[in-house]
Amino acid sequence: MKLKNIFMALMIAVLAIALVACQGDSEKEKEGEDKSNTEQKDNENNKEENKEAAADLEGSVVIDGSGTVYPLMAKLAEEYMSNEQSGVSVEVSRAGTSAGFKKFLVEDGTDFNDASRQIKDEEKAEADKLGLEVKELKVALDGLTFVINKENDWATEMTAEDLKKIFLADGGVTKWSDINSDWPDEKINTYGPNENHGTYEFFYENILEEKDLVDDVDLQQEYPTLVKMIEEDKNGIAFFGFGYYVNNTDKLQAVSVDFGNGAVEPSLDTIAEDGDYADFTRPVFTYLNVDNAKEKPQVLDYAIYVMNNINNFAGETGFAPIPDAEVEESVSFLEGLK
């Protein structure tokens, strides 16, 4: 009888220990589940907060510089403010590449400087002097385009050398008949953007190899002014970026250029660094103040938006797109600033 009582007592003790253990495991599992649920909720809340923060950016983004790049950046700014960040004001101006760098390379300068040429050594030195970190972002390809009046039916095709001679002081060409005796014996009137613009510098430095332009060339600050001048001058010829031509085809016509293998019309298909119009093709850029991008979330957000969408709007504004690999490289750099 005693043995039976002892056996029963042992069984009850074992069951009690098992029950306590099960309750402990259950409580641990519950604690684990609670902890996991809490972490999941925290992660979801953090994601939601980040999303809300990204969706509610405020402030301004200030851009100046190239008149050539202006239509592309203005379009991107419009799309960004309408569809991405309505609380951010993106201000885009077009003082010209060189004039823009003067506003960019100062204390409390602009956030971006659009440029139709690369930054110069003296401009880099100024950035270093001020302690500014500057990032070059290649945004598109442009084709230097020569435009003439709609009524000009003789000079629709010219060689690259003929075009250079028209603008060179010692080119020996002053009248259309100097190029072709069958053409009018009329003086050629030359026009172009002034020295504030990277397009002028590209033309002067790369095409004319820093030789003097004709004395009476009419250089203007505003591209719409040049469009109007050629529209009203049957004997006029001007140079500027392809975008200003393609958006004014009802007022102007472009000269097809013979680089040695037949006349090539500037177009989105021919403008490329290794294409048929390569000799008159150039990359265009925007330069970012990296310090501003680190301090102002809206500046960095806009920079990332620009590079992610640049090829979507390049063609629409008269530019050829850049390779996807170059876009991805720029986006990777910008993402790393977060």
Residue 160: count of CB within 10 angstroms of its CB: 16
Q: What is the pTM of this model?
A: 0.80
pLDDT in tens, the chain (338 residues): 444 454 454 455 444 444 444 455 555 455 555 545 555 555 455 444 444 445 689 999 999 999 999 999 999 999 999 999 999 999 999 999 999 999 999 999 999 999 999 999 999 999 999 999 999 999 999 999 999 999 999 999 999 999 999 999 999 999 999 999 999 999 999 999 999 999 999 999 999 999 999 999 999 999 999 999 999 999 999 999 999 999 999 999 999 999 999 999 999 999 999 999 999 999 999 999 999 999 999 999 999 999 999 999 999 999 999 999 999 999 999 999 99
Q: Cα(182)–Cα(88) distance, rounded to whole angstroms? A: 58
Encoded tokens for 118: 């690369």
SS3 state at 69: coil
SS3 state at 6: helix
